[in-house]
Amino acid sequence: MTSGFKAGVILTRRRKFLFIGMLFLAVLASAKPGINGDGLQRFYALQKMLGDQPAQAVFDEKYDASLPVLAVPLYGLAKATAGPRHGPELVRHLKGLVAQFNHLLLCGFLLWFFTFLKRRFGFADDGAAVGTLVFLLTSFALPHTRDFYSEMLWSGAAFIGFDLLVTAVRTEPSRRLLLGLGLASFFAVWGSTVFALVWVPLVALATLASVRKRRGSVGSRLAAWVRRPANLAAAAGVILAVAAYFIENQIERGSILANGYEAETWRFAPITFWYIFASPGKGLLWFIPALWCVPILFRNPRLKAAATPEVRTLAAISAAVTLLLTAIYGSWWAWGGAVYWGPRFFLYTSFAGSTLLVFLLAHRSLLTRWERGLVYLCAALSAFIVLSGMSIGQHYYDGCRGVAGNCHLTFIESPYYVFGRPKAEWLALVLSRYVVVLVLAAPLFWVILRRGERRHGNEVVVS
């Protein structure tokens, strides 16, 4: 598959390390994370687990233990570097380092995404680097990793897991690939047990399709399906995650079925599905403009021909994930993620949307003039929304005094609300240090990717 991102350009190992280092610095310097809301309850659970006295003796323990367990090394490092700090100063130090957990997850995910673009889309080194930057600037990755919530864990694990699943289904999987699939399955379900309702059926359907044309009786084909290595690896991850869920329930609440959400209300409410897509404060169509580009995939025959079967399968999976998440969270009163910037539970959809933008930008020569215009507009709008989420975020949320669900239906929680404020106010917010860091980083990235370019045979090498 020919990439529109300058195929044939490669980076030396030194230049790759420099690019990755700058990318990580941009993530760490572009936003100051904090621990609030649900994340604060997870932090207290982490302290209690390690035998420290939480600042709040009684706290909400209904949240899963995935983040507290995985953040133990960071907490230990924070204590080791605390020095003479004590009291509130010590707590601030501990929170400050533990709050970087999701940023570190994001850095690891970006490193994987760089290799994903090369392997799955056939991008050259510089094309994969540009694609990774586009992903970072157009997805919720930055604004949704400035806290101690679990969406980055399960969304990132699921995104990686589905890619591994497609590879495992279409090739003879190696042990390493199956181990990766099992781990992705474990973290996707452990980080959000409700995501098992999405993960399990989609894994089953993907692997079932691979034995559909197999010869033999229905029983023999079903037996072959059950024995598929991909099925077994994914099932092992789910079983371990569910076991961890039951053990945690027993330890924390005295019953394997007591998950802390017994008092929550769940009911089928079709109007909520419309809210998830169209409400000004949380709607996917407002916050993820890439969704407006989806029709291009269906109406452009040259683009469909450029997409490999694996890419088409991943696109179908992403659409199914979004619809299933809509059905699940649309039945819950807290579908908007409470007081939180953007559609909190749809980080996976944001990742898929930004990947679609990368794909369309790479193949822009196959698009019509109007299609290119739409892609450029959606990419620019996505970047603005992300930067708005980082600089403005929840700045105006106090202006809505009603129930949180009603606030989601207003423009107060919208990234566009700032333009209804005085000019001096929105300029000060939009041109914040978060925006400045990323804008100034762009020329540095360009130098890293292009300076020292030389030709070696038919390939261009950046040394």
* Per-residue pLDDT at 296 exceeds 70: yes
Mean pLDDT score of the chain, rounded to an integer? 85
* Per-residue pLDDT at 321 exceeds 90: yes
- Cα 8 off chain centre by: 29
Residue 166 is inside which H or E element, if any?
Answer: helix 151-170
Average pLDDT rounded to a whole number, residues 229-239: 90
Instruction: Choose between 202 and 395: higher pLDDT.
Output: 202
- At 21, the pLDDT band (50, 70, 90 cuts) reads confident
Instruction: Choose between 128 and 265: higher pLDDT.
Output: 128
- Residues 369-398 pLDDT 10s: 999 999 999 999 998 898 888 888 888 888
Average pLDDT rounded to a whole number, residues 262-280: 84
* Per-residue pLDDT at 455 exceeds 80: no
Which residue, chain included where needed, has tokens 């990947």? Answer: 355
300 is written with which tokens? 């452009």
d(CA 99, CA 391): 18
Which of the residue ranges 29-38, 106-115, 269-278 would you say has the lowest mean pLDDT?
A: 29-38
Which residue, chain included where needed, has tokens 């994987």? Answer: 112
Average pLDDT rounded to a whole number, residues 259-283: 85
- Among 24-38, 253-267, 406-420, top mean pLDDT goes to 406-420
Average pLDDT rounded to a whole number, residues 183-194: 94
* Per-residue pLDDT at 3 exceeds 50: no
* Sequence letter at residue 358: V
* Per-residue pLDDT at 266 exceeds 90: no
Predicted confidence at residue 420, as pLDDT, reads 83
Instruction: Choose between 410 and 15: higher pLDDT.
Output: 410
52 burial type by CB count under 10 A (0-12 exposed, 13-18 middle, 19+ buried): middle
CB 441 within 8 A of CB 432: no
- Residues 121-149 pLDDT 10s: 988 887 888 889 899 989 999 999 988 99
Q: Which long-range contacts does 56-63 make (Cβ < 8 Å, 24+ apart)?
A: 60/260, 61/252, 61/253, 61/260, 62/259, 62/260, 62/261, 63/38, 63/150, 63/260
Which residue, chain included where needed, has tokens 């509130």? Answer: 88
* Sequence letter at residue 125: D
Percentage of the chain exceeding pLDDT 90: 43
- Residues 340-370 pLDDT 10s: 899 999 999 999 999 999 999 999 989 999 9
The DSSP call for residue 266 is B
d(CA 272, CA 256): 31
Q: In terms of Cα–Cα distance, which of 55, 43, 37 is closest to 96?
A: 43
Alpha-carbon separation of residue 299 from 199, 295, 304, 305, 375 (angstroms): 29, 6, 8, 12, 14
Domain boundary assignment for the chain: 1-31+114-138+435-463, 37-98, 264-431
Q: In terms of Cα–Cα distance, which of 370, 372, 361, 422 is closest to 396?
A: 422
Q: How many Cα neighbours within 13 Å face the side chain of 459?
A: 12
φ, ψ of residue 9 in degrees (nearest 5): -95, 125
Which of the residue ranges 102-116, 201-215, 429-443 would you say has the lowest mean pLDDT?
A: 429-443
By three-state DSSP, how is residue 9 classified?
strand
Predicted confidence at residue 110, as pLDDT, reads 94
Average pLDDT rounded to a whole number, residues 205-229: 71
Predicted confidence at residue 374, as pLDDT, reads 96
What are the start-end ranges of the H helices in 291-400? Answer: 294-299, 301-306, 309-329, 347-362, 369-391
Which of the residue ranges 244-248, 259-263, 416-420 would you say has the lowest mean pLDDT?
A: 259-263
Checking phi first, is residue 343 left (phi over 0); if not, alpha (psi -120 to 50) or beta?
beta
DSSP string, 207-237: HHHHTTT--S-HHHHHHHHHT-HHHHHHHHH
Instruction: Choose between 260 and 98: higher pLDDT.
Output: 98
* Per-residue pLDDT at 207 exceeds 50: yes
- At 407, the pLDDT band (50, 70, 90 cuts) reads confident
d(CA 135, CA 353): 9
Percentage of the chain exceeding pLDDT 70: 86
Alpha-carbon separation of residue 389 from 85, 146, 403 (angstroms): 33, 11, 22
Average pLDDT rounded to a whole number, residues 186-211: 88
Sheet containing 459-462: which strands, arranged edge to edge?
9-11, 459-462, 453-456
d(CA 398, CA 72): 34
- Among 75-89, 340-354, 393-407, 434-448, top mean pLDDT goes to 340-354
Which of the residue ranges 83-97, 280-294, 446-460 would you say has the lowest mean pLDDT?
A: 446-460
Give the other-Cβ count within 10 Å of 74's Cβ.
Answer: 17
Rounded to the nearest 10°, the torsion over CA 257, 258, 262, 263 is 170
* Per-residue pLDDT at 2 exceeds 50: no
Q: How many Cα neighbours within 13 Å face the side chain of 316?
A: 13
d(CA 339, CA 399): 12
